[in-house]
Amino acid sequence: MKNNSVYQALAQGLPSDQAKRLFHGRGGLFDGWQQVNIEIYPPVLWVIIYQGIDEQPLLDMLEQVRINSEALSVQHIYIQRRFQAGNPVQVFMGDGSMLEVDFKVNEAGLSYWVNLGKNQNSGLFLDMSEGRAWVREFSQGKSVLNLFSYTCSLGVAAAAGSARSVMNVDMAKAAIKRGQQNLALNELGARSVSFIAQDIFKMVKKINQKGPYDLLIADPPSFQSRAFDVRRGYQKLLEKFKPALADDATLMLCLNSPALGVDFIHDLVAQVLPEATFIERLANPAVLADANEDASLKVLIYKMGINA
């Protein structure tokens, strides 16, 4: 794809006062750009290169952004090369003042802390924006269990949607701490929100005792060394937490593995939760369009009970 076409795709989302994915080369719709994703964390344009490529077309396109940076409201351009040891970051434009520091970004009326640098994750998965919107709309008056909560953005969305209670669980203490900060940032601390920084499978009894839950959110990593492998762990997850579900509970089951399609989750639910009915697959943001939609992010909604 010509550089100008990529620039046009990028510029459609700018200027922006919201954090969001702007360009999803990994969707395979831009020939030659499959190893590039670009996001905006105002005022930073964040460019990720996953594998070694001929970078000249990308650098030429970013030069166009630099030339038009004032109109696009971009002050800094950082390039993270994931394929190099330590995920080094190049300052392409601006300075390094926004690197390795916490700063706030907005999405749909809520705020989150992010940190851009050598870490692979900023603190906010922008591809889950539609999932957060759905949770916020659906959570009113509900008891919510948010497993693999990371920095608790889905839990924050639930609290903002007036959930009766929210329990966020993640084994990473730093992520849970950031989740608490995100909750406070949105002045939602008065809500009935709790946090557990522990391996979910070590806390099954305690978590289940806090049930029943009206909404189960599960957004596990595809693979986490020595901790979780989605091929085996997802079934175990559903089996362990099935007793904690309300009779008419809703499940939001997420899967972001290109190697596993929708049928992987459908088959697991049919086996472990035969009383659950599939309701819908949430649409991904338009920018995440994929040459193979079954390989893209999957956010599936199920409803327990015969009256689903």
CA dist 308 to 89, 139, 181, 248, 303, Å? 49, 17, 36, 8, 6
Please, which residues have CB within 8 angstroms of residue 69's CB and are 6 or more apart in sequence? 75, 77, 93
pLDDT of residue 146: 98
pLDDT of residue 5: 86
What gap in Å lies between CA 78 and CA 64, rounded to an integer?
15
Mean pLDDT of the chain: 94
**Predicted model pTM:** 0.94
Q: Is 67 helix (H, G, I), strand (E, B) or coil?
A: helix
Check residue 279 and report its DSSP letter. E
Would you state the pLDDT for residue 230?
Answer: 84
Residue pLDDT, tens place only, 257-294: 888 999 999 999 999 999 999 999 999 999 999 999 99
3-state secondary structure of 255: strand
- Render pLDDT for 183-204 as a digit per residue (tens, 0 to 9): 999 999 766 999 999 999 999 9
Q: How far is residue 206's CA from residue 36's CA, in Å, rounded to a whole number?
A: 42
Residues of the chain with pLDDT under 70: 1-3, 190-191, 223-227, 306-308
What domains sit in the chain, N to C, each tagged with a CATH number? 3-115 (3.30.750.80), 126-304 (3.40.50.150)
Two tokens at 40? 């905006």
